[in-house]
Chain A
Amino acid sequence: MISIRNVSLTYPNGVRALDNVTLEIAKGDFLFLVGSSGTGKSSLLKLLYHDAIPSHGEIVVDGIRVDKLRGARVASLRRHLGVIFQDFKLLNDKTVWENVAFAMHVTGAHTREIERQVPRTLDLVGLAHKSRMFPNELSGGEQQRTAIARAIVNNPKLLLCDEPTGNLDPENTAEIMDLLLRINTKGTTVVVATHNQSVVDRMRKRVVRLEDGRIFTDEERGFYYLGLGQGQVLSG
């Protein structure tokens, strides 16, 4: 599904965010990216949805050389993957329904299709009853579920999550992670960059640890802190 080969990323201001990173993610995987702030987790995700372009190396997502994409092809890539963020990135002057439908409108989807797909997706994330509310009338967890609905409404093969629970209390965090897991079991590959130890330790999924822009460890059923898991693979 995702193949990152010898990728380095240096920002225009000279900061070296990633240093010769190589990573393979299989279709249907659920993967955590962990590491302290500024170790390149967000940068790695940005490369996957072409919000940053590697200075070196190549990135293949679902058979497409993402680092080579330009213009309308970038837009096309983003329609086939979903992204969610710590700050939700919802449009505050649009209702829940409109925020989700928006992602379909930009793809040029037919109105009938939008009217069929949006309620289904809102149902899946448990927000069908709040579809007419505006983001600032919702709790943080509900806002993030709206963002997830928007991310998955086009049935992406890949869902990228950058600190999805960073602004949420433990209860909402658990709900969001359950939702991500459910989406994953339907076949969508999910990559989650997180600081949240309890989330990582509870789920026992693959954990890739970044340190100073390099992959430090890559564990099959890992924990947040190094050395607690089994099947540890040192790489990078």
Chain B
Amino acid sequence: MDWGKVKFFLGEVGRNFTRNAGMQATAIGTVAVTVVLLGLFLFVRLTLAGVGDRLLKQIEISVYFHTTATAAQENHLRDVLRADNRVAAFTFVPKAEGLKQLRRQTQGSIDVSILTQNPLPDKFRVRVTDPSEVAAVADALRGQPGVANVVYGKTIVGRLLQLGVVLRRVSIVLIVALLFVASIIISNTIRLTVFARRREIAIMQLVGATATYVRMPFVCEGVLHGLVGSLVALAILGIGKAALWSKLALALPWLELNSAHVALLPIALQLLAVGVAIGALSSWFSIGRYLRA
């Protein structure tokens, strides 16, 4: 390892980085603003998706048997459910148990004791692994022998699934737009610093520097912009969360419940990576046009 070379290279990067403070601040600021927006957006998206997911997870299919259904038919359905890998869990509710539950739910507001016999059918309560398969599973069960009716929250499942799709599409568009705008601003900023140093670049190439050699300090500078900018953004997000979180949670109680599931560290790392990538790529491309040969 030639430490002289490393020292020279770091010296170059450091010199460039400290030389034009205004320009550096602009680039870093742009990264920071972008990452803050991106972070807020990711957080909101994950929270909303979490709400949807939790609602969907609570969706349950009720499979009612005919009152005339035989034990064999009920056992057959048990086997079907067991064999179906889309089914996460199921419980059998015999009619006696169903009546007990009804009694508990009505809590004496209706006098169930007037019933001379149990009018309820046996039923299965089924949960599926993937909410988008609720409809398919329900349809499959509807055709089974002895089954009278299959019921699930059809409308709400449809709407929640739709919400998920819309949320995904909107977020892809927004994220792409955000990154696009940020990289344009940053490339323009870096283009200015490159322009200010075009003489130096020309001289470097004149004495035989390769395009890669000329590029490296600029790309490292871009990485630094990205790194510093994202760290600033993460600090802002962290402080913002600490300051506003308890108030927000009071105003929107469901938020606290659902945002607890959002893992913050992976988001932070993703944001850092995005910031660094924006910085590196924009400087890579903005210097391209000053490299002839």
Contact = CB atoms under 8 A, between A and B. Distances in A.
Interface string A96-140: 000000110111101110110000000000000000000000000
Nearest to B6: A111
A64 interface: no
Interface in A41-97: 49-51, 70-72, 74-79, 83, 89-91, 93
B21 interface: no
A25 B268 CA distance: 64
Nearest to A78: B208
Contact of A75 (B8, B15, B205): B205
B207 interface: yes
A72 B211 contact: yes
B204 interface: yes
Contacts of B200: 91
Given A50-B293, A71-B293, A75-B293, A105 B5 contact: yes
A111 B293 contact: no
Contacts of A206: none
B208 A93 contact: no
A93 B205 contact: no
B210 to A, nearest CB: 4
A111 B213 contact: no
Contacts of A75: 205, 208-211, 213, 293
A209 interface: no
B213 A74 contact: no
Contacts of A115: 4
Nearest to B207: A103
A214 interface: no
B193 to A, nearest CB: 14
Contacts of B207: 78-79, 102-103, 106, 150
Interface in B1-17: 2-5, 8, 15
Contact of B5 (A77, A83, A103, A111): A111
B206 interface: yes
A89 B206 contact: yes
A90 B210 CA distance: 19
B156 interface: no
Interface in A146-198: 150, 154
B216 to A, nearest CB: 11
Interface residues of A, number: 30
Contacts of B5: 105, 108, 110-111
B203 interface: yes
A157 to B, nearest CB: 14
A155 B4 CA distance: 21
B206 A114 contact: no
A32 B205 CA distance: 25
A101 B39 CA distance: 45
A106 B204 contact: yes
Contact of B293 (A70, A89, A112): A70
B211 A111 contact: no
A163 to B, nearest CB: 15
Interface in B260-285: none
Contact of A78 (B2, B199, B205, B211): B205
Contact of B209 (A49, A106, A112): A106
A83 B2 contact: no
Contacts of B205: 75, 78
A114 B4 contact: yes
Contacts of B203: 89-91
Contacts of B206: 49, 51, 78, 83, 89
Contacts of A76: 208
A106 B213 contact: yes
Q: Please indicate which of the listed interface residues B3, B15, B208 has the most CB atoms of chain A within 10 Å of its own CB.
A: B208
Contacts of B4: 110-112, 114-115
Contacts of A91: 200, 203
A185 to B, nearest CB: 24
Given A50-B293, A71-B293, A105-B8, A110 B208 contact: no
A108 B216 CA distance: 14
Given A75-B209, A75-B210, A115-B4, 4 more contacts: A79-B207, A106-B204, A106-B209, A107-B208
8 contacts: A75-B293, A78-B208, A79-B208, A89-B206, A106-B209, A110-B2, A110-B5, A111-B8
Interface of A: 49-51, 70-72, 74-79, 83, 89-91, 93, 102-103, 105-108, 110-112, 114-115, 150, 154
